[in-house]
Structure 1
Amino acid sequence: MKIGFIGLGNVGGKLAGSLLRNGVDLTVHDLNPSLVAGFVARGAGQGDDPQQMMRDLDVVITCLPSPEACEAVLRQMLPEVTPGKIWLEMSTTDAEAVKRLGAEVTAKGGAAVDCPVSGGCHRADTGNIAIFAGCDRPTFDRVLPILTTMGRRILHTGPLGSASVLKVVTNYLATVHLVANAEALTTAAAAGMDLNTTYEAIKISSGNSFSHVTESQVILNGSRDISFTMDLVKKDVGLFQAIADQTGVPLEVSPLMVQIFEDGIARFGERELSPNIIKRLEQATGLDIRAPGFPAEMVDDEPEAPGFEVVPQGRQPGGT
């Protein structure tokens, strides 16, 4: 099977790297020629443009920064969609948009899957990231070998668009945890607590979270580097808020998250690393929330292993 990958950024480049590392016949494309050149030097083919890639390849994967970018690329590919072609959308995007675009793909005999990832760039780099997949079951069975090459835990979430909804839900929770961890660490420091001890207390307690054991470490190091920026957080929380608005859920915490990151962007810039949202509290208190012994970036030390399908609790394997 010949696979194309469009979008070699922080996440896409790592996912494409897993495909290439595992011997997949891979062709890549990106607006940044240096990123493409790096993959070509490692054995990948160079795609001329999205239209040519859809014409010549079996599967084309997109991993792009916005719903608008995704639609622009699909518009180029759509004339070459024929029966048997597959479009895998791995961006964090709008569920309604991916359903609308996916319907155009299926109308031409192709198959569409929204399959965003979750778990951090460090796990995308090792093939140990989680992947959600929204599509019909027969299509899921076709793409599962591709997904298990890029990720460790693969969850079939239901029909097209369902994966994008759940990705936005999980990103929203990660944002809440990040802001809460920033407040917890700053308050502990203000109360005179040792921050190394504070980190361990949270880690072994009911207050622990995935965000704490990853983002809190780079916060305390001072690098604040998780390869994710404030504008992307604002986009993700905005997508979550839009789902709540569309479904009539009267949220209280979500609008506050939007306000906090709008303020962070106004102060530090939209491309500021997202964990530096804690700088708002550092400025307000005069405290420096750092501690010795923490890494500058997260590294996944779990050995790469074949991926597998995660079966939801209460469901049977192969069900939806």
Structure 2
Amino acid sequence: MTKELKVGFIGLGNVGAKLSGSLLRNGVDLMVHDLDSDLVQVFVAKGASAGGSAAAMMRDCDVVITCLPTPSASAVVVQEMLPQVTAGKVWMEMSTTDEAEVRRLAAAVIARGGAAVECPVSGGCHRADTGNISIFAGCERPTFERILPLLTLMGRRVLHTGEIGTASTLKVMTNYLATANLLTLCEAMVTMKAAGLDMATTYEAIKISSGTSFTHETESQLILSGARDVNFTMDLVLKDIGLFQTIAERNKVPLELSPEVIRIIKDGQQRYGERAQSDRIIERLEEATGHRVLADGFPSELIDDEPEQPGYEVVINRAAAK
């Protein structure tokens, strides 16, 4: 099925370039577009074709995927594509966006006879690069089954979350959890440094304990090496945790930690710049204490050492949930 489809991909940033790279690497007939023409040319040199515009891509492709930095950017692109949406066309939104907005845009696509899928990813740029990232997909079940072969080329684990809007809701939740975990790790490591503990030993103690997490096993390494570049900037963090806070407010949940997480990230932006790398948030505590959290032997960039394997649908255990 994937060999027969013409697929368009709009947005070749940190994540988009890696996801579209997986499609190209696996033989998909790929057309690409980005406001940065140099990024487009990199893909053309690898065998993709240049899309020219969002409207042209929807006209010429069976499926168009968007992976853009903000909900407003997605709205502009979808508005441009809408006149070219006809029966059988599919729009796949891989950006992290607002669930109310993705519902609105999906409804516009569906009204013209097309199909819409929201399919944000989770797991870090290093896993997006190898096709081992996780993907949430919100859409009708027949649409999900139709595009599952494409999703399994870009991701290892694919979860059908339900109707449009559910995937975006779950995605911003996971990004909130990752951000909150990053902040607690920063507090833990600076406190251990102040208490005289060895940082490499501290890393291993967390890793083998009940306190470990995906965030620790990835981002803590970049903090300790001093690289502090996880390919995710504070403006993107703030967008995602802000979306999570909005969901809570819509549903009248009086969160206590979330506003403080937002405040800390905003403070980090004021200190280090709006687009500073998110791992630099530890420097607030380093500056306050005079302790620098570093250790030898940790990598300056994350590399996914899992071999690339075919993706699969994650099946929900309904019996266990009862």
Question: Do they superpose with TM above 0.5?
Answer: yes
| 2:217 aligned residue | 213
Q: Aligned residue for 1:187?
A: 191
Q: What TM-score, normalized to structure 2?
A: 0.97
Distance 1:88 1:144 in 2: 11
What percentage of aligned pairs have identical amino acids?
65
Distance in structure 2 (CA, Å) of the matches to 1:37 and 1:271: 25
Q: Deviations for 1:38-90, whole angstroms, at most 9, x for unmatched residues?
A: 00000000001000000010000000000000000000000000000000000
Q: Quote the Cα distance in structure 1 between the aligned partners of 2:93 and 2:296.
A: 40
Partner of 1:63: 67
Instruction: Look up the match of 1:290.
Output: 294
Cα drift, residue 312 of structure 1: 1.3
2:90 matches 1:86: yes
| Counterpart for residue 163 of structure 2 | 159
Deviations 1:110-131 (A, max 9, x none): 0000000000000000000000
Equivalent residue number for residue 243 of structure 1: 247
State the Cα distance separating 1:314 from its structure 2 match.
1.6
Partner of 1:172: 176
Gapped runs of 5+ residues in structure 2? none
Aligned-partner Cα distance in 1 for 2:196–2:34: 49
CA distance in 2, matches of 1:230, 1:110: 35
SS in 2 for 1:201: helix
How big is the shift at 1:313?
2.0
Instruction: Quote how far apart the aligned CAs of 1:315 are.
Output: 6.1
Q: Are 2:24 and 1:27 equivalent residues in the alignment?
A: no
Q: 1: distance between equivalents of 2:310 and 2:48?
A: 22
Once residues 261 and 173 of structure 1 are traced to their aligned partners in structure 2, the CA distance between those partners, rounded to angstroms, is 14
- Report the residue type matching 1:287 in the other structure: H
Cα distance in 1 between the residues matched to 2:319 and 2:54: 38
Q: Distance in 1 between matches of 2:290 and 2:282?
A: 12
Q: Which amino acid in 2 is paired with 1:72?
A: V
**Residue 268 of structure 1 aligns with which residue?**
272
Out of 203, 217, 231, which is 1:199 matched to?
203
1:310 aligns with 2:314: yes
Long gaps (5+) in structure 1? none
Quick one: distance in 2 between partners of 1:83 and 1:153?
29
Q: Distance in 1 between matches of 2:302 and 2:229?
A: 8
Q: Which amino acid aligns with 1:64?
A: L
CA apart distance, 1:21: 0.3
Deviation string 1:142-187 (CA, Å, 9 cap, x unpaired) is 0000000000000000000100000000000000010010110000
Determine helix, strand or coil for the equivalent of 2:130: coil
Counterpart in the other structure of 2:79: 75
- The answer to whether structure 1 residue 98 and structure 2 residue 102 are counterparts is yes
3-state DSSP of counterpart to 2:88: coil
SS of corresponding position for 1:74: helix
Decide which of 25, 42, 49 is 1:45's aligned counterpart.
49
TM-score, normalised via structure 1 length: 0.98
Q: Which amino acid aligns with 1:56?
A: D
Letter in 2 for 1:103: A
> Offset of 1:195 from its aligned partner?
0.3
1:118 equivalent in structure 2: 122
CA RMSD of aligned residues (A): 0.8
Q: Secondary structure at the match of 1:93?
A: coil
Aligned partner of 2:288: which letter? A
In structure 1, the residue matched to 2:22 is 18
C-alpha separation in 1, matches of 2:94 and 2:61: 17
Q: Residue by residue, what CA displacement relative to the aligned partner does 1:201-236 show, whole Å, maximum 9, x if unpaired?
A: 000000001000000000000001110000110110
Between the aligned partners of 2:114 and 2:136, the Cα distance in structure 1 is 20
SS in structure 2 opposite 1:297?
coil
